[in-house]
Amino acid sequence: MDHRRHPASLQAGLAALATALQPELTRALPLEALAERALTWLSCQNDWLLVLDNVTDPAHLTPVLNRALSGRVLITSRLGTGWHRLGARVLHLDVLTPAQAVELLTRITTGGTDRHDPALEGAADLVEELGCLPLAIEQAAAYLHQTRLTPRAYLELLSRQPAAMFDQAAAGGDPERTIARLWRLTLARLTEVPHALQVLRVLAWYGAEAVPRTLLSPLAAPAELTTALGALAAYNMITLTPQTVTVHRLVQAVTRAPDPTDPHRRPTDIDQARHQAIDLLGQALPPDHQDPTHWPAWRTLLPHIDALAARTTVDDDGLALLLNEAGTFLHDQGTIHRAIAYHRRALTDFQRLLGDDHPLTLTSRNNLALAYQTSGDSKRAIPLLKQTLTDKARVLGADHPHTLTTRNNLALAYQEAGDLKRAIPLLEQALTDKERVLGDDHPRTRASPRLSRRHLPTSRREQTSHFPLPPGGAWPMMKP
């Protein structure tokens, strides 16, 4: 019996059982009387199995369980709590292994078990994207069988039209049992819990790795946030530990797929959740990327910055700030090619949103140039530093600390490229300016030793992680 919508569905299911046992009763008795007759029959018989599918509230089953004592009842539900009141034994069903998932997809799609069938090209990637969830794999496989698409082609459709594909049932399938529609019923239940859907929409933008619970603290008061997380866990939308939250990647994919026809996935709500996800990460970033005590926190947050960057297709200055900070951390950790990718994306976003002369853009350009320099790519680093120095002197002033930083970096880039004729005068000028502007005892001045043209000691590059601020406040942020 499908018990998805309401206790009335249970009554209708019991009535159908009664008419299956005695078809002549169909017109003789009303629905309530038929349901009562079915319960009477169950209470008088032994060795039967009653299956109640997709139950949303244990309390709905009390009329049945109080009467049907001589058989067995199998209940399926997304709700993982509350069953102790019924004395029920709860069996938690996990996702399939990748091998099992491919086997299920193969069997439904081709009717065989040959994983090397050309029709299955991309099967492993598809089941990974679907998180090895049996219902999702069955839905996708039935669609593949009907349309003769390859898994690779299905993946492409899924990336372009996720809302449509998650709601697509093959001919002969139950259109009410698609991933999107089943979870829509669960989300409808969760609307009764303040902040639950907001929290889920924010989590949908992060990676599938564990998210620190403290990251979500600004979303609601502690008691309300705890209640919201508990409700999401009860319906198996998330997995909770005392310190972390984990979300299945398919739950994330469905939740962040906008659908104007679904009140729980309105495009404006999903876009707002993306901005909140970015802001929360920005607030959670460790204050110092060079302090080893903060490195574990950085490594916890990086997968979620990666996920946000991959899933955000519009320019966003908040995301650009995250990418700059993460790129600076990765640079210091020696992961230079990944740092370059972060800094390129950050610079592109800043240029489009704020313009070439904005101080955030200039700082981002300095850091990208440093990453090129560290990678040994002087042909990219030196022109970028020269242009940045010229622009910083014009926009911020020749004596601004960030201008001095870029002058120092350009000198070192010349030094590493073997161009001492250009390096020595710049380093001498950098030292003179730092002594004049910052003072002899400033750390950056002390890091620049006194130079002569006969001896050029090694000096340290200076990154700019924290951006220059105007007097009395922060730079205005622009949203796309």
Could you give the C-alpha distances from 180 to 94, 145, 158, 264, in angstroms and in order?
A: 19, 20, 13, 11
As a whole number of Å, the end-to-end CA separation of the chain is: 49
Q: What is the pLDDT of residues 9-56, one digit of tens each?
A: 788 888 888 888 888 766 778 888 888 888 888 888 888 888 887 787
Q: What is the pLDDT of residues 388-408, one digit of tens each?
A: 999 999 998 888 888 888 888
Confidence of residue 387 (pLDDT cuts 50, 70, 90): very high
Q: Which residue has the higher pLDDT, 336 or 179?
A: 336
Question: Looking at residue 354, what is its pLDDT?
Answer: 93
What's the whole-number average pLDDT of the chain? 82
466 in the Ramachandran plot: left (φ > 0), alpha (ψ -120 to 50) or beta? Answer: beta
Structure-token pair, residue 395: 């926009």
Structure-token pair, residue 53: 């599918």
Looking up tokens 């390129």 gives 344
User: Span 312-316, mean pLDDT?
Assistant: 83
CB neighbour list of residue 125: distance below 8 Å, 6 or more residues apart: 151, 152, 155
Question: Looking at residue 177, what is its pLDDT?
Answer: 65
Question: Looking at residue 55, what is its pLDDT?
Answer: 80
Residue 460, classified by CB atoms within 10 Å of its CB into exposed (0-12), middle (13-18) or buried (19+), is exposed
Q: Which residue has the higher pLDDT, 294 or 75?
A: 294
| Range with the largest mean pLDDT of 231-240, 368-377, 398-407 | 368-377
Structure-token pair, residue 403: 């201008």
User: Span 323-334, mean pLDDT?
Assistant: 93
CB 104 within 8 A of CB 141: yes
User: Span 110-136, mean pLDDT?
Assistant: 80
Q: Is the pLDDT of residue 342 over 60?
A: yes
Q: Return d(Cα 271, Cα 277) in angstroms, integer.
A: 10
Weakest mean pLDDT among 75-84, 313-322, 326-335, 412-421: 75-84
Question: Looking at residue 461, what is its pLDDT?
Answer: 52
User: Span 313-320, mean pLDDT?
Assistant: 86
Question: Looking at residue 466, what is its pLDDT?
Answer: 46
- Identify residue 235 by its one-letter amino acid code: Y
Structure-token pair, residue 203: 């989590």
Structure-token pair, residue 37: 């007759």
CB 322 within 8 A of CB 342: no
Q: Is the pLDDT of residue 473 over 50?
A: no
Q: What is the pLDDT of residues 427-452, one digit of tens each?
A: 777 777 767 766 655 555 544 433 33
355 in the Ramachandran plot: left (φ > 0), alpha (ψ -120 to 50) or beta? Answer: left
Confidence of residue 459 (pLDDT cuts 50, 70, 90): very low
Confidence of residue 323 (pLDDT cuts 50, 70, 90): very high
Question: Looking at residue 449, what is its pLDDT?
Answer: 39
pTM of the model: 0.72
As a whole number of angstroms, the longest Cα–Cα distance in the chain is 111
